[in-house]
Amino acid sequence: MQHTLPPAPQFYVTAPQPCPYLSGREERKLFTSLDTPAALSLNDALSHQGFRRSQNVIYRPSCASCNACQSARIKINEFTPSKSQKRVLRRNTRLIRQVKRPWATEEHFDLFSTYLKSRHADGGMAGMDVEEFAAMIEESPVNTQIIEYALETDDRREIVAVCLTDSLSDGLSMVYSFFNPDYSRDSIGSYMILDHIRLARELDLSYVYLGYWVQGSPKMDYKAKFLPLETFANGSWTQLTTPSDGKPPSGLLETDPIPDQVAAIHLPDV
């Protein structure tokens, strides 16, 4: 009897392009496909090594001369909300959370489009149409949920925020979130993170994965307020215990050659 082992994932590197977070720098990504029967275990193993899922691809920054972009996760058991975060929780007590299967609706797309026009009109997602949006939500080879936050009255339910969230073996990964800009004063973006911390505790999980924190990028600096935060660099997670000073790393930073990076990746047993 002949047995065929599943092929090992193939890793690829994107061409350098201007960094959207730090002026004058270039970004490059190391990535592989999740179109495999082992998608769940592969996504889990690579997420623990600083990778991030986007539909059926999982990637990690691999810039030639910079490592300012680092995967970040909140340590749930050690997290205590600050005074300002407690105010955010109080301001949003009216919101009702509902966890649903990853299915895109017209209301989701309208909210997403409004959010992009207000916050990221010049970003890479600005031209996304309804089919592309549906693919982002629905084409997931792993355990994914839509988490809605809504205001409800006797005759009306208004979705004001949505997060696409993956379930990992040790935590929740916030893949992408968006909200009604009219509620920005209530800090709904921060509230969704705080509520994911609450949900992770309910599920007896250890972390909430926030994606990438970029030291020196105003767009990403909010993540450093959720202390203690762990960031992944040079093959391990390191705890960040003080807020960022808002400055990008000075000079050019050496990174390992791509073959060495790939050789250091730990793949799951199949």
Q: Domain 81-210 belongs to what topology?
A: Aminopeptidase (3.40.630)
Average pLDDT over residues 173-202: 95
Task: Encode pLDDT of 210-240 as tens digits.
Answer: 999 988 888 888 898 999 899 998 889 999 8
The dihedral over CA atoms of 93, 99, 100, 104, expressed in degrees to the nearest 10, equals: 50
β-pair type (57-61, 17-18):
unpaired
pLDDT attached to residue 254: 60
Global pTM reads 0.91
Token pair, residue 199, equals: 């949900």
Q: Please say if the pLDDT value at position 4 is more than 50.
A: no
Distance CA 216, CA 221 (A): 7
pLDDT class for 3, splitting at 50, 70, 90? very low
Task: Encode pLDDT of 19-44 as tens digits.
Answer: 888 888 899 999 999 999 999 999 99
Token pair, residue 26, equals: 């270039």
